[in-house]
Structure 1
C-alpha cells in the first residue's frame, strides 16, 4: 500500500492532469472552472455532494454558498473544521441553471470521485443528498429513507463506512430539517471512531456495497418551498 505522502502526491497529480482539464462531458463547455474538491487530501472523513452551484463555479471551491456555510456550522458543532475533512461533489462542473445531473454526466465524472476516494482512503464518507448516496451505495433508496443509517462499502479495494445525510440545502428551505441534520451529524464522531476499514485486494475503482440490514427510517418530510437560486434541486 502506498504511504500517505505518496498517495497525497498522486492525488494532487491526478487532480492537475485528469480532473482540472477534463472534457469527458459537455459540461466543460459551460463551466467557469472545474471544482475538484477541497480540504485534507489524507482526511479520515470525506463529504460528497451533488454538483457545484453558481458560487462554487465562480470560486472553484465546493460548498461556499449558503449550503457551505451551513456545512461549516454543522462541522463546528461536532468539533471539526473544513480543513480537517475533504469535500467534493459527484460532478466536478456546474450543470447549467443548477439542474439535476444527467445520467451520462454522472457516468463520465464518477471515475474522478472513485479515484479520489481510493487515494484519500477515508475511514468514512458522508454523502449529502440523493445523487451521491445512490451512486456510492449502489442502491435506489432515496435519502429520506436511508439518512442517518451507516452502510459498509468498498471503493477501489478500500473498505469504508458510508453515512448518508440530507444535503444542507434541504435545511435552508425546510427549516424543520435542520434538527434532523444536527441529529445525524451528532453521530459522526462515534461512527468515525468505530470505522476501521480493512484494505481489500486491489480492484476496479467502483463502489460496492457490503450487505447489511437497513433499518426503516422516518417518513419523508413535507414538500419544501422553492430552494435558493444558487442551490441544486433533487436533494430529497
Structure 2
C-alpha cells in the first residue's frame, strides 16, 4: 500500500474534476439534508417571452402562474399530466423553451447549470435526437458541442449536411448528475416537451443517437445494435415521421470499429433524403 501524502495543487484540481464528472457537486455537512424536500425559489421566465406564454388559456399554465405568485415549489416529484398540459399549450418553439425553462417538475433541473434546449435550424426537415446533455453541453447550453458533438459534425459533413440543415435536441434537456442515464420518472416528465418540440419543428426525418434515445422514441426495450439502421414510420405526438436509429457519437469515440456501422446508417440517411426530395 502507498502511504497517504498531501496533494499538490494539480492533484487536488484533478480530484475535484473527477468528483464533478462523477456528479459529486454537493459537500456533506454535519447534519443530514433531505434533498427531496428541499425547496428553491422559482426561476422566472424572461419578460420578453413571459407574456405570450402565460396568455395561453391552459389550466396547467394558470396553476404555474398561481404557484409562482404564492412562493417556491418543490423541484422533485412532478406530475406527468401537468407536463403534458404545459407542453401542449405551447404554440411556438420560443414558448415551449420558456415553459420548459420555468418548469420545476423534474429534479434534474436542480443539479444542472442550465437548460439545454436545442441547436440547429428550426425549419429543418431532419431532426436528430440524443439522450441527455453532457458536461460541455451543460456549460454552453447547446446539445452536442463536446467531443461527441465534433464527431457528429464530421459525420453530417460527410453526407453533405451541417447544423444549418438539421435540428438537434435531446430526450431530456438537463444534464443528469455524473452523466448517468435518465430515470424512467425523469423521462416521463420530459417526454411531453420533446414530443411537442417534434410537432412544432415538423421534421420529415428523425434520427436517434444512441440506445436510450432510440428506446424512448421507438418505445422499445430492444438494444441499439439490433435496431440501428432500420427505418420505421413513427407517430411522435401528432406527427408521422420516417425514423432511423444509429449509434451515439460518444460510443463511436470509445469503439472505433463501430464507425463502419454508423457510416452505413449515415449513407442510409442520405439515400432517404434523396428519396423524399429534401435536397432542395
TM-score normalised by the shorter chain: which range applies? Answer: 0.7 to 0.9
CA contact (8 A) 1:24 1:109 kept: no
CA contact (8 A) 1:153 1:161 kept: yes
Higher alpha-carbon Rg = 2
- Output the CA distance in 2 between the equivalents of 1:79 and 1:9: 32
Please report the TM-score for the alignment, with normalisation by the length of structure 2: 0.65
* Deviation for aligned residue 1:195: 4.5
Mapping of residues 140-151 of structure 1, within 5 Å: 140-151=221-232
- Output the CA distance in 2 between the equivalents of 1:61 and 1:154: 26
- Partner of 1:20, secondary structure, is helix
Q: Structure 1: any 5+ residue segments left out of the alignment?
A: 1-7, 197-236
- Partner of 1:25, secondary structure, is coil
- Which of 80, 89, 92 lines up with 2:173 in the alignment? 92
Give the match for residue 235 of structure 2: 154
- Output the CA distance in 2 between the equivalents of 1:63 and 1:113: 16
- Output the CA distance in 2 between the equivalents of 1:113 and 1:195: 24
Give the match for residue 155 of structure 2: 74
Give the match for residue 220 of structure 1: none
Query: How many aligned residue pairs are there?
Result: 188
* Deviation for aligned residue 1:189: 1.7
- Output the CA distance in 2 between the equivalents of 1:100 and 1:157: 27
1:193 and 2:193 matched: no
Over residues 10-45 of structure 1, what are the superposed CA-to-partner deviations in whole Å (9 max), with x where a residue is unaligned?
1122212x1222212111111100000111112100
Mapping of residues 23-102 of structure 1, within 5 Å: 23-102=104-183
- Which of 4, 12, 15 lines up with 2:97 in the alignment? 15
- Output the CA distance in 2 between the equivalents of 1:144 and 1:40: 29
Q: Structure 2: any 5+ residue segments left out of the alignment?
A: 1-89
Runs of 4+ displaced beyond 4 Å: none
* Higher relative contact order (Cα pairs below 8 Å, separated by 6+ residues): 1
* Deviation for aligned residue 1:180: 1.4
- Output the CA distance in 2 between the equivalents of 1:85 and 1:62: 12
1:127 and 2:208 matched: yes
1:117 and 2:194 matched: no
- Output the CA distance in 1 between the equivalents of 2:192 and 2:238: 14
CA contact (8 A) 1:31 1:94 kept: yes
CA contact (8 A) 2:91 2:200 kept: no
Greater fraction helix = 2
